[in-house]
Homo-oligomer: A and B are copies of this chain.
Amino acid sequence: MVDIATRVHNHNWKIDPIVRSLIDTDFYKLLMCQSIFRNKPETTVTFSLINRSTRVRLADLIDEGELREHLDHARGLSLSRGESTWLRGNTFYGKRQMFRSDFMEWFEGLRLPAYHLEKHDGQYELTFEGQWPEVMLWEIPALTILMELRSRAVLKGMGKFELQVLYARAMTRVWEKIERLRRIDGLKIADFGTRRRHGFLWQDWCVQALQAGLGQAFIGTSNCRIAMRRDIEAIGTNAHELPMVYAALADSDAELAQAPYKVLADWHEEHDGNLRIILPDTYGTEGFLRNAPDWLSTWTGIRIDSGDPAQGAETAIRWWRDHGEDPRDKLVIFSDGLDVDKIEELHQQFAGRVKVSFGWGTMLTNDFRGLAGDRLAPFSLVCKAIRANGRPTVKLSDNPNKAMGPADQVARYKRVFGVGDQQAQEVQV
């Protein structure tokens, strides 16, 4: 039977919205938002979309009118009653009422602020300027809208049958990865693939595949909407935007040098347990750990998000040992450029020496390489805080290809944080 009502309903869609919920975002954005809402609510920050893969000419692929419709649709969203209930009532990492009442009241009233959109040289320049707790919530919707509009643009020319085979192939590929992962004894892995996903429904499918295929080894998703929908754990802690903005706000080199630790001191007050995860690479992992205060070594673990991951983990292990901590009690979360080979290799090298866990991103939710030619291959799109209270932000990272900021400021940060030569690594996605 044809379901006429559904069909007529679909006919009447103005658009098929890509973002349908304010919590279709990474969990750590909400954790950070709450922290910012408490500690730095008045800061003016500019977020900007940056396509590091200039070969993908987004403005040629994606119609500007369509892009605006999706951005405008996202601006119309507010937290639903069920979403608010889930955030207020859920247990995250074993803790109830992770989100404070004052934050939830503010969040319930929130709408995404205005955006600024221009075309330039085949790319969109999309920026968001305003109060930090508000504009920072644009990061994930902006990325997912651009990513999915690009997918839709490529898929538009394909027949019903080609589409079916395309997804059959993509499903087979994901499932074969999962079958390999299933053989890793003691694996712990989460979906971190929201920001660069092929599309919402596809990420949702991938999460269900992980659930069905990995059982207990699958520990959750960074995506709150999917965590809610599939009744699984929402996973995440904090990201580079915190030290980047804190650093930009520093009024002296001495304050700058302390900024990354100030971030974690604020975080330490708010969170314990699994949320106390160090992200050390914003201005170089080596220097960060060398100069870190002793109390940081008592934190639960570390997230390795750039540079050579094995080297990063070894550095952390040495640092814990030097501080009298047993690395076997510590959590190392690998989250940069992972696919099955690398996961197998890192697990092999570190299981038993530390508690290992993986945040699997783009190669989970957007591995369409070689399908539809290579027109669906993932690419490197980011949305970053580039200015805070009128000052440029800087990121050095453990990979100079991921560095950001004006050259003079990059030089100053390198001096202040004692960053020497770095090994460049190709940025895939």
Contact = CB atoms under 8 A, between A and B. Distances in A.
Interface of A: 1, 3, 5-6, 9, 159, 161-162, 164-165, 167-169, 171-172, 175, 208-209, 212-213
B3 A1 contact: yes
Contacts of A162: 212
Nearest to A174: B165
13 contacts: A1-B6, A3-B3, A159-B212, A161-B209, A161-B212, A162-B212, A164-B171, A165-B175, A168-B168, A168-B175, A169-B172, A169-B175, A172-B172
Q: How many copies does the complex hold?
A: 2
A167 B164 CA distance: 11
Contact of A171 (B168, B208, B213): B168
A6 B1 CA distance: 6
A168 B206 CA distance: 14
Contacts of A213: 161
Contacts of A168: 167-169, 171-172, 175
A293 B1 CA distance: 56
Nearest to A9: B1
Residue of A164, A167, A209 contacting most chain B CB atoms (<10 Å)? A164
Given A159-B212, A161-B212, A168-B175, 9 more contacts: A1-B6, A3-B6, A161-B208, A164-B171, A167-B168, A168-B169, A168-B171, A169-B175, A172-B172
A247 to B, nearest CB: 45
A203 to B, nearest CB: 15
A209 B164 CA distance: 10
Contacts of A165: 171-172, 175, 209
Nearest to A213: B161
Nearest to A3: B3
Contacts of A172: 165, 168-169, 172
A406 to B, nearest CB: 48
A4 to B, nearest CB: 9
